[in-house]
Structure 1
Amino acid sequence: MHGRKKSYLCLRFSFGSMFSERPFIKKRVQIHQDAYRLLIDACSKIKSCKDSRCYHHYYTNPIFEATRLDACVVVSSIISEFPNAVWSANENGHNFIQYAVINRSEKVYNLLYQMSEHKNIYRTIKDSFGNNLLHLAGRLAPANKLNLISGAALQIQRELQWFKEVERFVCPLNVVQKNSFHETPQMVFTREHKELVIDGEKWMKATAESYTITAALITTIMFAAAITVPGGNNQEKGIPIFSHAKAFTIFAISDAISLFASVTSLLMFLSILTARFAEQDFLFKLPSKLIIGLAMLFISTTSMVVAFGATLYLVFGHDNSRILTPIAVFTCLPITAFVTLQFRLVIDLISTTYGLSIFGKKRNSVLY
């Protein structure tokens, strides 16, 4: 009962306190709270009116449906009321942890971290086909789960993260253990993800090729700009005519930054095009190269636009400071466009590669 009250308070706080000022959010919070109370009332009704030997007839289907939908609050509430629910099995003989791995329900899977020594049974448990938990992690995720992630490369990365997480959890012997079809978990993963790896390679190459052209163009332009400085050179000394102007210093620094950044970006994208595209490369190596390439491309594009703006001011605005305003405004346009168009991709790459893991203990309370 104490655990149930604590779960309810956590649920109410997490949904209510942060968004209490927004009416439409408050309505959704109220729906969640009403649904939670209905769940608790249903559990209480079952416990008070039914024979304890028949409880599993009422909670088995709900706990597996909640697992499929990754509704960890529902799963944890049912287990709190009916502890034996952790041993429930569906028509395929899978318990709720195995089912969570199959359906990539990370919130339900993370309930393992709240369990006591009982979780050790899941380290070695097998289904009717001899598949341990790592074999199940080697299966391809359901289409509705994969579609939540943009890009085939990020999809295979998430699949690898799941495989590595379960690999750390199971016993070392299970990593090389074979199922009834004489397949190790790695063999299952390779077979199930063969097409996804090919799609990830195509997506990564297509992305790198498009950015390679852009980086090459910027490199060419900025190299030419460094040789042909604005205003030309003094014929006697060879020194640029505007060398003492502050705008010329801005141009020179921006041009150098843009040139070096675009070259670095070009090398990153070329290294992606020539990569071997092994399964494990999608976990960290390839996404890191793409992140560095995109970051350098953004820096080079920004510096190029700043250098162009400084050139315009040197040539046309040295006697008219009012030209600075339109130059600054138009300078921001391509930078804003680049950020807007590529922001989602960059954020997804950084969050999935360097962000916090989706796995781990989320609450300190003991589940079972």
Structure 2
Amino acid sequence: MSQLLHHMVIALDSSGNSILDLAGKLAPQNKLNLVSGPAFQMQRELQWFKEVKQIFPPLLWDGLNDEKKAPHVVFTEEHEKLKVDGEKWMKDTSSSCTIAASLIATIAFAAAITVPGGNDQKSGFPTFSGNIAFIIFAISNAASLFTSSTSLLVFLSVLTSRYAEEDFLHTLPRSLILGLLTLFLSITSMIISFSATVYLMFGQKKVWVLLPVATMACLPITSFVLLQFPLLVALISSTYGAGIYGN
């Protein structure tokens, strides 16, 4: 196939377009619909353009077609609207997640100041400081505060990104992956912290309280997994997986 590939690479159509110029054109809508979301579509288009560029002679990367346009110029012009739509999608998603992370950080900070059971008036230490459930509360609440703060900063970085074409390939998806992972950890830690507080206040020496508390605690975690996990899997697969090329 090497000889056939060589002829195909250097061939031009009637408008002077090489295969790299053609790869820079926007894919048909039925091909774009194979992935959901304009940001994913922009990433896939970039991956396709980069893949074709690998087999194209480097000396011809800046070659002009009959319209005096280089392949990268063709790509930029063809994907201008898709890039704008992808930027809007990323900002809308990040804004929603920023609100959630801010609320969790606020709750975790307030819970750290007003510990369950209050403090001992003589020593100043928390009343339940020697209880295992209190230790679980303290650790999970701290984890919730730290992970939600990290998630907040990550999503803020997405909102203030420059949104260049190349950013849609790795930078923006990687930030969104990190933000979603830390947001999930913060939600999980917050639920564990709240469950430990409920047990401390109402479940002392009542083991049966653990069952309904644990059952109800699983509901928000399960909901987040069902609603956001497909997006996270798609992000990881399209960014770090073999993709459509299998290499």
User: Could you tell me the TM-score, scaled by structure 2's length?
Assistant: 0.98
Q: Percent identity?
A: 57
Q: Is 1:222–1:304's contact at 8 Å kept on the other side of the alignment?
A: yes
2:148 maps to 1:258: no
Residue in structure 1 matching 2:210, options 304, 310, 324? 324
Task: Note if 1:242 corresponds to 2:110.
Answer: no
Alignment partners' CA distance in 2, 1:350 and 1:175? 30
> Counterparts of 1:260 and 1:276 in 2: how far apart (Å)?
26
Residue aligning to 1:346: 232
3-state SS, counterpart of residue 68 of structure 2: coil
Please tell me the root mean square deviation across aligned C-alpha atoms, in Å.
1.0
Which of the pair has more CA radius of gyration? 1
Deviation at 1:123, TM superposition (A): 2.0
Question: What's the counterpart of residue 141 of structure 1?
Answer: 27
Cα distance between partner residues in 2 of 1:278 and 1:178: 23
**Contact 1:157/1:282 (CA < 8 Å) preserved in 2?**
yes
In the alignment of these two chains, the number of paired residues is 247
* Corresponding residue to 2:119 among 214, 233, 244: 233
Q: Following TM superposition, by how much is the alpha carbon of 1:344 offset from its aligned partner in structure 2, in angstroms?
A: 1.3
Cα distance between partner residues in 2 of 1:271 and 1:250 = 31
Deviation, 1:121, is: 1.6
Structure 1 residue 174 displacement after superposition: 2.1
Aligned match for 2:82, one of 196, 210, 230 = 196
Q: Could you tell me how far apart the structure 2 residues matched to 1:151 and 1:174 are?
A: 32
Paired residue for 1:216, among 95, 99, 102?
102
Q: 1:292 — aligned with what? A: 178
Consecutive aligned runs of 4 or more in structure 1 exceeding 4 Å deviation: none
TM-score normalised per structure 1 = 0.66
Whole-Å separation in 2 of the counterparts to 1:350 and 1:117: 36
Cα offsets for 1:12-67 (capped at 9, x unmatched):
xxxxxxxxxxxxxxxxxxxxxxxxxxxxxxxxxxxxxxxxxxxxxxxxxxxxxxxx
Letter in 1 for 2:91: K
Q: Note if 1:279 corresponds to 2:198.
A: no
Asked which structure has the greater RCO (Cα within 8 Å, sep 6+), the reply is 2
Distance 1:116 1:360, change over 3 A: farther
Unaligned runs of 5+ in 2: none
Structure 1: runs of 5+ lacking an equivalent: 1-114, 362-368
CA distance in 2, matches of 1:334, 1:209: 20
Per the TM alignment, residue 360 of structure 1 is displaced from its structure 2 partner at its CA by 4.8
